Structure formats: structure tokens, C-alpha cells
Amino acid sequence: MSDGTARDAIALAQALIRCDSVTPRDAGALDVLQGALAPLGFACHRLPFSEAGTADVDNLYARFGDGGRHFCFAGHTDVVPVGDHAAWRHDPFAGDVADGILHGRGAADMKGAIAAFTTAAAAFLDDRGAGFDGSISLLITGDEEGPAVNGTRKMLDWLEARGERIDHCLVGEPTNPAELGEMVKIGRRGSLTGRLTVNGTQGHIAYPHLADNPVPRLVAVLQRLNERQLDAGNAHFQPSNLEVTTVDVGNPATNVIPATARATFNIRFNTEQTADGLSAWLREVCDEAGGDHVLDIEVGGEPFLTAPGPFTELIADAVAAVTGRQPELSTTGGTSDARFIQRHCPVAEFGLAGRTMHKVDEQVPVADVAALTAIYRQILERYFA
């Protein structure tokens, strides 16, 4: 890869970082990206979506070509809040480069990757010229770090309604724990959140027969949930786990039995489980031990696996060719928008190292952005060989 190509990737990453695109705000990030893609011949579609109870979100779908095999790069331009602005050594939205390091919110997650795959596509198309008979697209949302309601999921529905089909997709999430080339994500565990309210009757603690304390019943439910080992994992996934994240009574008095007690828990589950099966188990336990209660269940996504094969091998070989590392094919970590894409086509994830994502002083080495650009270029070359 030429020095000019590397400089282009860094310059685009800087321009994106300089957009204060904290979810759901776009702050011009999609304009920057569209401005880079349209001159290359990409047909760009801005896709604003709305839904009651959520913020409006703008998104971008850009496609070069209208036939042949269709390879899609997916990602998000929205970022998480910076926290304590004064704690940053560099302005989080300045896109500073100092001592070979690119600084700023989104450098790792994932404006650096978006710049890398945009620049890689530009270089690939520049070499292939008018004879290229495939299709390359970018599916970019502004709603990944937020509720993920008005983003990738609705964009995919829009594509389906138009009759557009993606053959394979690569998401540019920061998949590497520490060093570029360590890990490709080929699946993700599912996520289910339960919010349990156990109802009782408030009263004086000296007259418990006149009250109904919901706390022991809540504790009994949580104990049963924690006692069960959901599974032992499998060849591609770690064991499923349930974690209680909060228990709330909201009772400042020591002589009052509360009227309600609440708890929230989350289950990250592998392909040994389904959301329906887990939901049925949760409701059974709550019915047995919870008494008068309300259980609300929200499914963030089902688990999925892109089985190792030619597509994952192509990505891993491209990573090894550039970095000299043979990446692990992994399903660890949290959720991503790949959970929506997997319903439409095979999907994998590969991006920068995630050591500083969501942290103060988020940063990535300039050399890693250059190497990632080269990897994405290799992937395109191999895919369209």
C-alpha cells in the first residue's frame, strides 16, 4: 500500500473524528463519508428513520456497481459520550495525530475502520477501473451505540424491499484485544434482559402479619436463577451466563416493609439456548417463587455463528498476509449490529484493537490504520479474484 493511500485513510479518519457524532447526533459525519464516496462512483442513499419513543437517526447506504457478487462493509459513525472532557490529553473531537498515534473519540470504535475500508475500496476500484463487474457497498448507521432501533435493522429491511441482496458482509468493529491481527469475530452470543418487579403490601415491621414483604420472594427468585448452570458452552462459544445487574427496593426507612422490590438481570447466551426457551424458564421460576410479580423480557439479539469456511478463511488469510499473525476465529465479547446482518447474509467482523474503545484518551496507532486499510484491500482482491 502506498504512503499516499495510508495518508488518505488517516485524513478521512481525522475528518470523521472531528464530527461530534455522539448517538443519536450525526454532526456531519455522514456528509464527510458521502463526500468521499460519491466522487468514486458510489450511489449514495441517506436513510433517516424514526420510531415513537426513540430519537430520529440518519444512516447512509452507498453502493458501487449493480451486478455480480456483492460485498458489503458495515459499521457505525455514532460514538459514545466522552465522559470527563478535561481528563483527555487531546481534545476528543480534534482528531490529533501525535507521535504516530491517532487520538479521539471513535478512533478505535470505529471511525478508523470506516476510513480504512473506504480508502481500501477507493484504491481497489482505482486499480480495477471500468472492468470491475462486482458490487461493493457500505452500510453505515448512526444508531449502533444507542438503542439500535432506527439503524442497521431498518436499513436491511429497506434493502430487502428494494430487492437488493448482499452476498457477504464484513463489519469493522474493533475485534482485536491488544494487537492488530489477533482475532476475527465469526459469531456473537445472544442477549436477553429481564426486569422483575415483585409486589407486596407495605406495612410496619412490628406487624408483619398486616403486610406482605416482597423482598424474600425476590431473593428466592434470584437464588434459583443463579443456581442453574445454563450450559457448558460448545466448540465455538463460551458458556451462557446470567448476571444480576441491580436490585432495588428504594426504602429509606428501617421500620417499614416495602411494597415492591425490583431486580434487573442480563443473560448472554450461546447457540445451546434460544430466547424463547430462556424466557419460558424465567417465567416458570418467577411463577413458582415470585408470587405477585411482573416480568418484562427484552431480547437484544439471538446468538449466531458464521461457520468456518471459505469466507472466514479468506478474511483470516488476508489478515495473516499483512500482519504475519494467524487470527483466532472467535465469538467472544458483547453484541454488535452483526446480529441483524446475519439474518441476511454470512457476516464476520474485523477491525482495530479495542484496548481504548469507550475510554478516556481513545486512540490507535497510525500504523494500524494503514495496516487495516491494506487488509481490507487484500480482502477485496481475494473476494473478487
List residues with catalytic annotation.
78, 144
Question: Which grid coordinates belong to 183?
Answer: 482475532
What distance in Å separates the CA atoms of residue 89 and residue 91, rounded to the nearest whole number?
Answer: 7
Q: Could you tell me whether strands 97-98 and 101-103 are parallel, antiparallel, or unpaired per DSSP bridges?
A: antiparallel
209 within 8 A of 267, measured Cβ to Cβ:
no
In angstroms, the Cα distances linking 381 to 69, 127, 145, 314, 363 are 13, 10, 31, 10, 29
Q: Which of 356, 276, 371 is nearest to 322 (CA)?
A: 371
Question: Which grid coordinates belong to 56?
Answer: 430520529
What distance in Å separates the CA atoms of residue 223 and residue 196, rounded to the nearest whole number?
Answer: 14
Q: Could you tell me whether strands 328-330 and 135-141 are parallel, antiparallel, or unpaired per DSSP bridges?
A: unpaired
What distance in Å separates the CA atoms of residue 196 and residue 218, rounded to the nearest whole number?
Answer: 8
In angstroms, the Cα distances linking 119 to 1, 37, 232, 319 are 11, 9, 42, 17
SS3 at position 200:
coil
Buried b (16+ CB within 10 A) or exposed e, 331-342: bebebbbbbbbb
353 within 8 A of 364, measured Cβ to Cβ:
yes
